[in-house]
């Protein structure tokens, strides 16, 4: 039941996030008032159908403009983005990655293509902190142009979601953009192709190793109001949670690991021994939630 519910929500969120179809007639992206707000998951601002801003694009824009803003005594530096993402993190940790992110959803769908499945070493999970620190925070803050503005490094050089949702459709829609295609576009296309191929063989490779948004939310997994709990006495190490987990986690190695996206699959369907439960403000919710969801 919970897996079906998650699929419905992932599908609905993907369509809601990208529900501006006026671009078909105008050839332009939506720039109305909703773009002042962020989606909770990765969803490119420049996708022609996107109605929200992307949280990672917004974070980079803050760091890219913070110096010039402060120099000009403008203290409007987008703290609401930190507030918005921090509030979500404090409430539910990485839950948006599992339920509300179109690019995460795409990875799960592509991984269903029959093939030999492989794993990657667990240290690769720290890659996303590299991208968060260098590409989202440090480079936009430090490397500035003659006007004092930095660049959105992650969007410009890495983000495969941006290439898929915005780069490719916009160059197809706008002939003037096709004339501007250069090395940068081809580099990003290569990144996208590599990640799309990796999705076939590896469970959620982008979320596990690169996504700075997942990195940001992961800091909250251990302290959020909704958390998960493991009962070692009940666990028989059957490894069913590991086989089912979209992030390739062994739950018994630690509840609330950095890569847990709170899909609740292990809790609702994998563990037949009652070793996994969900807690809300420190109170175990096993019976109430499980009766409703399983």
By CB under 6 A, name the binding residues for ligand SF4. 235-241, 244-247, 249, 251-252, 260-266, 270-271, 273, 275-276
Q: How near is the Cβ of 282 to ligand SF4 at its closest, in Å?
A: 18
Six-digit token string for 276? 């996994």
- The residue among 132 and 271 lying less far from ligand SF4, judged by its C-beta, is 271
Residues 39, 50: Cα–Cα separation, whole Å: 10
Phi, psi of 115 (to 5 degrees): -170, 170
Phi, psi of 274 (to 5 degrees): 70, 25
Q: How near is the Cβ of 230 to ligand SF4 at its closest, in Å?
A: 6
Q: How near is the Cβ of 245 to ligand SF4 at its closest, in Å?
A: 3
- The residue among 119 and 239 lying less far from ligand SF4, judged by its C-beta, is 239
126 Cβ contact list (under 8 Å, min separation 6): none
- The residue among 121 and 175 lying less far from ligand SF4, judged by its C-beta, is 121
| CA neighbor of 66 nearest in space, from 157, 132, 156, 136 | 136
- The residue among 11 and 239 lying less far from ligand SF4, judged by its C-beta, is 239
**22: Cα separation from own chain's centroid:** 26
- The residue among 76 and 272 lying less far from ligand SF4, judged by its C-beta, is 272
Q: How near is the Cβ of 246 to ligand SF4 at its closest, in Å?
A: 6
Q: Which residue has the tokens 């959803």?
A: 105
Judge whether 202 and 119 are in contact, CB under 8 Å. Answer: yes
Q: How near is the Cβ of 268 to ligand SF4 at its closest, in Å?
A: 9
């Amino acid at each position: 039941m919970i897996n079906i519910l998650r699929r419905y929500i992932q599908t609905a969120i993907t369509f809601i996030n990208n529900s501006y179809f006026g671009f078909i007639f105008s050839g332009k992206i939506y720039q109305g008032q909703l773009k002042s707000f962020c989606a909770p998951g990765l969803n490119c601002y420049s996708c022609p159908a996107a109605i929200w801003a992307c949280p990672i694009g917004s974070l980079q824009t803050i760091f890219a403009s913070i110096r010039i803003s402060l120099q000009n005594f403008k203290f409007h530096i987008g703290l609401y983005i930190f507030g918005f993402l921090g509030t979500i993190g404090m409430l539910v940790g990485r839950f948006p990655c599992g339920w509300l992110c179109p690019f995460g959803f795409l990875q799960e769908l592509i991984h269903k293509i029959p093939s030999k499945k492989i794993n990657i070493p667990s240290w690769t999970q720290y890659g996303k902190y590299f991208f968060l620190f260098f590409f989202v925070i440090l480079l936009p803050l430090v490397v500035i142009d003659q006007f004092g503005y930095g660049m959105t490094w992650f969007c410009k050089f890495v983000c495969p979601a941006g290439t898929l949702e915005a780069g490719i459709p916009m160059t197809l829609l706008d002939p003037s953009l096709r004339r501007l295609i250069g090395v940068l576009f081809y580099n990003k296309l290569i990144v996208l192709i590599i990640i799309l191929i990796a999705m076939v063989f590896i469970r959620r490779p982008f979320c596990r190793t690169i996504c700075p948004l997942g990195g940001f939310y992961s800091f909250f997994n251990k302290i959020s109001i909704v958390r998960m709990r493991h009962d070692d006495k009940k666990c028989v190490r059957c490894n069913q949670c590991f086989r089912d987990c979209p992030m390739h986690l062994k739950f018994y190695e630690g509840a609330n690991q950095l890569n847990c996206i709170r899909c609740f699959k292990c809790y609702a369907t994998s563990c037949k021994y009652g070793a996994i439960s969900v807690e809300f403000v420190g109170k175990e919710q096993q019976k109430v939630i499980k009766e409703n969801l399983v």
